[in-house]
Amino acid sequence: MRIATYIISIIALVICVFNVSKIDFQAPLENESFTAIITAIAAACAILIASLLRISKKVDRVVKTKV
């Protein structure tokens, strides 16, 4: 499970960087820039969720070893 969360995080990071490069900072809320912003935010959320899953699994392992 840990490897899957790392792979998901790496893919989401690549998507986030790609979409940030597509944002037109002169008009960030128009046409393709808006789509790029939404997709970059979604990728950042995916990274956050994968990180939370990794942390919760780590806490679960620590609790199981102490019991």
pLDDT band at 7 (very low <50, low <70, confident <90, very high): very high
Burial of 56 (0-12, 13-18, 19+ CB in 10 A): exposed
Q: Provide the residue ranges of all domains of the chain, joining segments of one domain with +.
A: 2-66
pLDDT at 61: 93
pLDDT tens-place string over residues 15-50: 999 999 999 999 888 989 999 999 999 999 999 999
* HEC sequence for 20-60: HHCCCCCCCCCHHHHHHHHHHHHHHHHHHHHHHHHHHHHHH
pLDDT at 51: 96
